[in-house]
Amino acid sequence: MVNVLPGEAAGIITFLKDKRVDELRKLLSDKDAHQQFLLSLDQVKIQSNNKDELRRETLQLARENLEKEPQITELRNQASYQQPKLFFALKPNYVFL
């Protein structure tokens, strides 16, 4: 189910009220005509643009993350090398039996 704000619905109704009955029937029966109508709505155009912008931003972030992968791997290796040293440096002097 699609939630439509009252203002958006009013805009759609205003657009549809000027259509002839045969045009409205075509919108109901013809999938291509229905699709064209939906794509012509400002709300759909805005959402489509927002989706495209989010996709571009997500791809850019993914590329940046992939570029950082070698650096992260190196830091992870350094941390795993340093971990035993830190463990013994911070550990109180226990006697192991």
Three-class secondary structure assignment of the chain: CCCCCHHHHHHHHHHHHCCCHHHHHHHHHCHHHHHHHHHHCHHHHHHHHHHHHHHHHHHHHHHHHHHHHHHHHHHHHHHHHHHHHHHHHHCCCCCCC
Q: Is the pTM of this model over 0.75?
A: no
Per-residue pLDDT of the chain (97 residues; tens, 9 = 90+): 456 667 777 778 888 888 899 999 999 999 999 999 889 888 889 999 999 999 999 999 999 999 999 999 999 888 887 776 766 666 666 555 5
pLDDT for the residue numbered 91: 62
The domain ranges of the chain are 1-40, 55-90
